[in-house]
Amino acid sequence: MTVPEAHRAVDAVWRLESARIIAGLARIVRNIDLAEDLAQDALLAALRQWPREGIPPNPGAWLMATAKHRAIDRLRRDERLQRNLGHLGRELQARQETAAFDGGPEFDEDLVPDDLLRLMFVACHPVLSTESRVALTLRLPGGLTTDEIARAFLAAEPAIAQRIVRAKRTLASKQIPFEVPPAGERAARMASVLEVIYLIFNEGYTATAGDNWARPELCYEALRLGRMLAELSPTDPEVHGLVALMEIQSSRMRARLGPGGEPVPLLEQNRGNWDQLLIRRGFAALLRAEQLGGPPGSYVVQAAIAACHARARTAAETDWPRIAALYEILTVISPTPVVELNRAVAVAMAFGPARGLDLVDALRSQPELRNYHLLPTVRGDLLAKLGRPAEARAEFERAAALTRNVREQAVLRRRAAECPPGP
């Protein structure tokens, strides 16, 4: 095997197995930073050995076993950890004494799901800032490199690296346990995990800045994390609701961009380009969430709204009264100005732009929407439909000034130019 071939194989295995390896090590050493260091040591060993010796029959187990042996060596070298060997190294030492290193033992499959779930809960711990939770989740459960995360978020690699380092230090200094939260805390902690995954998805679905309207790689990474979480938490309806929402929204990815990369609004999209496999997967996840019972959560309701769009063969067939009713439910579950703005759009589509504009105007004093470009965007659209082009033009110009996305700016400026100026 050539060196480049071996390196490609190592990279592929790392993509598939890194989360499981780091999660398994973190359970043993109780330290995320140390677990990642040990996993990286095993990766370097693979880069050295596999070109000479070939790829082992079970490469993931080889990496895990190598990392565990590195852990034993480090525990024995470190005097402080040596004093705590009975607490930290009992499992590693027992395994070394009972099994010869012949290419690596199999993963303990009974422990893997819990280990991965622990890793997701730790990476998304509320003690960390939102930015740190996102970066650490992409780095650990996601398995992305620091450079990949930086490129995805249009940030400098050193800044992302520092963010990840600070997050690990915070977890260590706060002595955050590597565990699935107890029952009384689990719902709140799961909400943090879901929030992080959906933040990643939304940044990919509609980029807040840069030259591209969307960054699909982030959407697909969030979807992968969501599917993983659904396997780890099969009885949580909100997990399945989030997966359903992301599946259905992802189905529109090809239709959302025009030939020049410009955004195409939902009602103008070619629905023949929607991915029917993703839609079916979304419907299945939504059905699973609904069958689990209980009051619907925010993600389940949002998925139901997305499903209304997916069921309509044409934009004209969209069931806007049902969507407006679902948004009414969502405003009770998640009473935020952004949800109210979305409800105003649905009401306008179902019952006319004048009713929608009344709702939008009631939101103009909300501090959270003061610099939110979609408020003037929606208002401009409704004003244009009501035959008030001069006012619409001013709103589109304001929206263009507020957004940092180059593609979106171009669309908004074009819409402003299409509105006749005032007298």
Alpha helices per DSSP H over 334-419: 337-351, 353-361, 374-385, 389-402, 406-418
Model pLDDT, residue 101: 39
On the 0-12 / 13-18 / 19+ scale of CB atoms within 10 A, 120 is buried
Residue 157's Cα: distance from chain center in Å? 19
Q: Which range scores top for mean pLDDT: 41-45, 153-157, 318-322, 410-414?
A: 318-322
In tens, the pLDDT along 117-151 reads: 899 999 999 999 999 999 999 898 888 888 888 88
Identify any residues that bridge with 276 across adjacent strands, giving them in sequence order: none
Q: Quote the mean pLDDT of the chain.
A: 86
HSE at residue 29, side-chain half, CA atoms within 13 A, is 29
| Average pLDDT of the residues in 405-418 | 92
pTM over 0.85: no
Closest CA to 122 of 174, 46, 51, 65: 174
Cα–Cα distance for residue pair 336/330, rounded to 1 Å: 9
Is residue 316 scored above 90 in pLDDT? yes
Residues 6+ apart with CB under 8 A from 404: 208, 209, 210
| Average pLDDT of the residues in 61-73 | 84
Is residue 170 scored above 90 in pLDDT? yes
Distance separating the N- and C-terminal Cα atoms of the chain: 75
Residues 6+ apart with CB under 8 A from 39: 18, 21, 22, 25, 63, 67
- Per-residue burial over 379-396, b = 16 or more CB atoms within 10 Å of its CB, e = otherwise: bbbbbbebebbebbbbbb
In tens, the pLDDT along 75-112 reads: 666 655 555 545 555 554 544 444 433 333 333 444 45
| DSSP category for residue 334 | S
Structure tokens at 318: 């969209």
Model pLDDT, residue 51: 86
